[in-house]
Amino acid sequence: MNIVQKRLLTGGFSWINFTRRLGPVSFSTKPEPLPSAPRTTSTPSAPTTTSSTSGGSSERKSIVPPDYRFVYQEFLPDPKIEWRNPIREKLERLDMLDRRANIDIPEFYVGSVVAVTCSDVHAVGKTSRFLGICILREKCGLRARFILRNVVDNQGVEVMYDMYDPTLLKVEVLRLEKRLDEHLLYLRDALDEYSTFDLNMEAEILPEGAPVPVNDVKVTLKPRPWYARWERHNLAGVANVDEHTNEKKARKAARVATPWERYDLMKQYRRTIPDEEQKEIFAEVYSQLHQLELTRKKLKRKRTFVKPTKLA
């Protein structure tokens, strides 16, 4: 038994306490590193880096134009919480970007005159084209759709299209404008002159950078019966609702009216997507959408200077 074993047996606890006081002992032959200088807390580099990082992210988010929420409204998810699924929404946005890379879907609103060409196995040439005024845009994601209305041979015709339907071949905006209401479903009960458009209508090109005009025309409704009780919808684009509304119908409309809802902040919050989430979504798809916009502007600039084939 050597001296170390004897010491461990006789005074082991004191030896262990002694080694604990000394701390971990290393028997390496490498030279010990020099002690580093104490870290100072007053260095301006750390906050500058964090501030630049946070500022850079805020700058990247601020690059997204504020009108994207209206131009590309289908990229925003449904505000109902029970219908939300972040994974599905992200996959849908990727599919929508891929679809927009194959077909040009220009900017249009309710009230714009749009022409859609789609594949149709029953039509001559396997394609069909319909032109009309957009009276409704609804839903979001890959389920986004819109309705076009036109009067053909004194008969109102409406066609509903899915915006990201793979059978769509071409979408043309012949007249870009807005209306006073969110939908124009009341054109079904209006005079035919407000829904009649020439099927061979030529495109009206706005100057680059010009704001989207707002058409403040007020339509005239036909006598009842109507598609809906328009006196209860508080419409700004209808001129003669009161002419076809008697006292009884006016009292019922006043009874079911809810004017206090515009002051209900929680209800408005549940019906919309928060601005922070909107910025995150559009920052994710901004680069590809911006590239598609540049390509569309180049094509629009070429169409502007095309010489007419026939001279007057």
Q: Are 170 and 127 in contact (CB under 8 A)?
A: no
Q: Dihedrals φ, ψ of 275, to 5°?
A: -60, -35
**What mean pLDDT do residues 129-135 have?**
97
Task: Write the CA distances from 40 to 34, 44, 46, integer angstroms.
Answer: 18, 10, 11
CA separation for the pair 227, 244 (Å, rounded): 14
Tokens for 194, please give them.
């407000």
The pLDDT confidence band at residue 57, using thresholds 50, 70 and 90, is very low
Q: Using one digit for the tens of pLDDT, what is the confidence trace for 81-98?
A: 889 999 999 999 999 999
Beta bridge partners of 82: none
Q: Which residues contact 268 (CB under 8 A, 6 or more apart)?
A: 262
**What mean pLDDT do residues 204-219 have?**
92
CA separation for the pair 251, 240 (Å, rounded): 17
Pairing, β 145-152 against β 155-162: antiparallel
CA separation for the pair 281, 6 (Å, rounded): 73
The pLDDT confidence band at residue 28, using thresholds 50, 70 and 90, is very low
The proportion of the chain whose per-residue pLDDT surpasses 90, expressed as a percent, equals 65
List the single range of 7-11, 16-20, 100-104 with lowest mean pLDDT: 16-20
The pLDDT confidence band at residue 48, using thresholds 50, 70 and 90, is very low
CA separation for the pair 294, 289 (Å, rounded): 9
Burial (CB count within 10 angstroms: exposed 0-12, middle 13-18, buried 19+), residue 133: buried
Q: Are 162 and 144 in contact (CB under 8 A)?
A: yes
Other residues' Cβ atoms within 10 Å of the Cβ of residue 70: 12
Q: Which residues contact 86 (CB under 8 A, 6 or more apart)?
A: none
pTM, entire model: 0.76
- Within 13 A of 30's CA, how many CA atoms are on the CB side? 4
Q: Which of 293, 297, 301, 295 is nearest to 65 (CA)?
A: 293
Q: Using one digit for the tens of pLDDT, what is the confidence trace for 147-160?
A: 999 999 999 999 99
